[in-house]
Amino acid sequence: MLVLHPSSRCDVCLDPYSWDDAALSPHAIPCGHIFCKTCLGAVIPSSCPLCRKAFAPDRIKKLHVDRPENADPGQEDETRETELLRSLSLSWGESTPQEDIEALTGEVTTFLENKADDVCIALRKAQDGILQYHKLRKKREKDRAMIITMNRLLKTTIERAEEDSRLSKSIEESLILERDRFKTIPSVKLSSRSSRQIWRNTNILRIHSRNLRNLFL
């Protein structure tokens, strides 16, 4: 019976071998190299990931191994630290969901509890780095959403201002035409009050229209 070292792992996926999951248990191929069954099944065409020698899938042999006796607690911690470091390194990138990051960093925090500050330095720095990275990523996404909202608001404001400008210009032109029409009709006499009102409305709309146009200069 073979006995696996606690730190033994597949050279392809780098996951530790499992005694309980057949897919993650060590399997040998004719060239002598050993990998987990999952990785060997994923190689197409079937060839050794290390030496590239071809093998027939039906020649894959499962190795019957036993758990190591009296495993060193320090060695187990070292193995667990390596696994956590690898998981942290794979969590970089925008494709990792936030809940996965929180779960992983929670595992690291639990592992580091009751450990001195001067041990597992690499793991501590990796955890701090990944937390900072995803914090900045979250802030960037928030800033991006705010920019999109502001752009939409600006576009709406400009469209409304342009519409107001067109409406004011249309009303101004209509009033001018109406005023000119009255001027050309001898039989129609406007009261001085009505004339002043038309003149005042025309000037107000002309000023309003000019101010709106200045917004876009």
* Alpha-carbon gap, residue 161 to 163, rounded angstroms: 5
**In 14-120, where does DSSP find H-type helix?**
37-42, 73-90, 98-112
**pTM strictly above 0.75:** no
From first to last of the 217 residues of the chain, give the pLDDT tens digit: 555 666 678 888 878 887 778 888 889 999 989 999 999 988 888 899 888 899 998 889 988 776 666 555 566 777 788 888 888 887 777 777 888 888 888 889 998 888 888 888 888 998 898 888 888 888 888 888 888 888 888 888 888 888 888 888 888 788 788 777 776 655 544 445 555 555 565 656 565 556 555 555 5
Q: Are 107 and 84 in contact (CB under 8 A)?
A: yes
pLDDT confidence of residue 29 = 93
Question: How many C-beta neighbours within 10 Å does residue 117 have?
Answer: 8
pLDDT at 190 (0 to 100): 47
Residue 60 token pair: 């894959």
Tokens of 158: 């400009």
Instruction: Report residue 6 CA to chain centroid gap.
Output: 36
Which one-letter DSSP state was computed for residue 18? -
Q: Residue written as tokens 């009255």?
A: 182
Q: Would you list the domain boundaries of the chain? A: 1-70
- Say which residue the tokens 């730190």 belong to: 7
- Give every CB contact of residue 64 below 8 A, 6+ residues apart in sequence: 1, 2
Select from 53, 57, 54, 51 the least CA-distant residue to 37: 57
Fold of 1-70: Herpes Virus-1 (3.30.40)
